[in-house]
Amino acid sequence: MTVSLDTIVSLAKRRGFVFQSSEVYGGLNGCWDFGPLGVELLRNIKEQWWRAMTLRDDIEGLDAAILMHPRTWHASGHVEQFADPMIDNRTSKARYRADTLIEEYIARLRSKGKTAEADALADRLRNAKTADDYYTIIVEAQIPDPVSGSRDWTPVRYFNLMFKTYIGPVEDESSVVYLRPETAQGIFVNFKNVLDSSRRKLPFGIAQIGKAFRNEINTKYFLFRTREFEQMEMQYFIVPGSEQQYFDYWLEQRYQWFLSLGMRAEALRVTPHEKLAHYASAAADIEYEFPFGWGEIEGVHSRTDFDLRRHQEYSGKRFEYTDPYTGQKFIPYVIETSVGATRSFMAFFCNAYSEEEVPSTDSKTEVRTVLRFHPQLAPVKIAVFPLVNKEGMPERAEAIYRDLQRRWKTQYDDSGAIGRRYRRQDEIGTPYCITVDGQTIADGTVTIRHRDTMLQERIAADRLVEYFSAVLQHQ
């Protein structure tokens, strides 16, 4: 179904998934707070990624500091090159990334069947290196402003995206540090530490989850482009010459991970990069079809030996690997998988959203809003209701709730009609609801109602732990 971004944002706030940061003071643009349900969903996404990446023989975990020695960012190229080419339209006053503006125009040409024109423009974009190059392409191709249609553009300028701060009591150039714009460099500078302490042999990877910060000029589309966000990155170190094999392997692995957690295949695609970063020999994005269109949620990159070689050059420390069988020394190549935890949150939220007409109690129909989260991602796994607040039902329901709560995130709700309580749980994505009724008091059975089908089954209350251990483990 087609859902608007406003609908997603409204539900996310109303049900306690995401709030605007510092909302009581008017909010801080590009920053968001995760509420009671949002923090559970985000934690579950990170847990599933961590399990997929580290419960295997060839990947170790790491948690590097946010603040790093400033030479790190000179070595990585971020100080000189981590900048976006921005262009303003004089009529609409809107600001765009110049390369993105061109890419979106190329996509529109392709959608209109103008393949030759799109290919020619794509070739020019691949060869663009300077602000003047981007400006010339935009002007000569007569690319219009998507908002106003105006072609009155300012020259392209570069804006560095790193947040600068100071460490220590004196604010001068000697105390400048940066909030990291990516988590990858913390992995690269620790390559030898992990290699030596874990006694690993190539190929092997290092995985990390952590915050990153970018001074985005244009934050937009809710959680899609923000200034503070969380990344889940893995750098896989390999023997030079095997990069294509492992690039293909990890691209497929990461695509299948999204599918395994309920992402609709028709809303997911792989898009190779038309223009490669200076360090890459191959790159592709896994994209999701958001309400605003297709957007990247994960990138897989073949980074060659660029990062380790640069850190060896700038630090004076050896980043070479010695093959234990041949004695050959070389700097490993790297395959990177980089997924936005925050963007994945938004993609899984949009993917789960559904509206459907269902029968109501007055023989009519009503619209049921439901978040069809994969059970492993659902913020709340189980809800427990007493049918009525009398005849021993609340006490029995409370006991069941307390028992399940020790194992899974569980809610107790005794307010309002049972149908209304079901709807509340549907709207937050709870896969299972348990109702304690008169029959429970008589024979010890309860009703389990399934979110997606709304079908119900009765089961002995003393089998609930066994039942949910099975269904929540294997789904």
Nearest-angstrom CA–CA distance, 347 and 366: 27
Tell me: pLDDT of 369 over 70.
yes
At residue 204, the pLDDT reads 96
| pLDDT-derived band at 474, boundaries 50, 70, 90 | low
pLDDT tens for residues 7-65?
999 999 999 999 999 988 998 988 999 999 999 999 999 999 999 999 999 999 999 99
At residue 171, the pLDDT reads 80
The residue whose two tokens read 């959608």 is 111
At residue 435, the pLDDT reads 96
At residue 386, the pLDDT reads 95
Alpha-helical (H) ranges within 297-392 are 306-315, 341-352
Q: Which residue has the higher pLDDT, 135 or 3?
A: 135
Nearest-angstrom CA–CA distance, 73 and 177: 9
Q: What is the dihedral of CA 39, 40, 45, 48, to 10 degrees?
A: 140
| Amino acid type, 29 | N
| Chain CA centroid to CA 362, Å | 42
Tokens of 362: 């007055």
Nearest-angstrom CA–CA distance, 414 and 417: 9
The residue whose two tokens read 């220590």 is 168
Nearest-angstrom CA–CA distance, 386 and 413: 8
Please report which helix (H) or strand (E) contains residue 355, including its range: strand 353-359
At residue 213, the pLDDT reads 93
Number of Cβ within a 10 Å radius of residue 274: 16
Tokens of 457: 């089954």
Q: How far apart are the first and last CA of the chain?
A: 24
Q: What is the mean pLDDT of residues 137-150?
A: 91
Nearest-angstrom CA–CA distance, 386 and 395: 9
At residue 367, the pLDDT reads 87
Number of Cβ within a 10 Å radius of residue 99: 20
Tell me: pLDDT of 363 over 70.
no
Contact present, 331 and 320 (Cβ < 8 Å) = yes
At residue 18, the pLDDT reads 94
| pLDDT-derived band at 264, boundaries 50, 70, 90 | very high
Contact present, 231 and 182 (Cβ < 8 Å) = yes
Provide the pairing of β-strand 382-386 with 432-436. Answer: parallel
Query: For every residue of 161-219, which 3-state class applies, written as one string?
Result: CCEEEECCCCCCHHHEEEECCCCHHHHHHCHHHHHHHHCCCCCEEEEEEEEEECCCCCC
Nearest-angstrom CA–CA distance, 22 and 28: 6
At residue 428, the pLDDT reads 96
At residue 448, the pLDDT reads 97
Tell me: pLDDT of 362 over 80.
no
pLDDT tens for residues 115-125?
999 989 988 99
**Residue 165 C-beta-side C-alpha neighbours within 13 Å:** 15
Tell me: pLDDT of 130 over 80.
yes
Helices and strands per DSSP (H, E), number in the chain: 16, 23
pLDDT tens for residues 441-470?
999 999 999 999 999 999 999 999 999 999
Q: Which residue has the higher pLDDT, 341 or 77?
A: 341
Please, what are the domains in the chain?
A: 5-69+181-349 (3.30.930.10), 83-160 (3.30.40.230), 380-474 (3.40.50.800)
| pLDDT-derived band at 361, boundaries 50, 70, 90 | low
Tokens of 211: 């915050």
DSSP 384: E
pLDDT tens for residues 383-418?
999 999 898 999 999 999 999 999 999 999 999 999
Tell me: pLDDT of 2 over 90.
no
**CB within 8 Å of 397: residues ≥ 6 apart:** 384, 385, 386, 412, 414, 434, 436
The residue whose two tokens read 């980074």 is 303
Tokens of 318: 């050896």
Nearest-angstrom CA–CA distance, 13 and 67: 32
Tabulate helix, strand, coil % of the chain (nearest 5): 40, 30, 35
Instruction: Write down the mean pLDDT value for the chain.
Output: 91
At residue 84, the pLDDT reads 79
Report the b/e string of 238-264 with b at 16+ CB within 10 A.
Answer: beeeebeebbeebbeebbebbeebbbe
Nearest-angstrom CA–CA distance, 472 and 475: 6
Least confident of 39-53, 164-178, 327-341: 164-178
Highest mean pLDDT among 93-102, 157-166, 430-439: 430-439
| pLDDT-derived band at 168, boundaries 50, 70, 90 | confident
Tokens of 23: 């909302």
Nearest-angstrom CA–CA distance, 106 and 194: 43
Longest C-alpha distance within the chain, in Å?
80
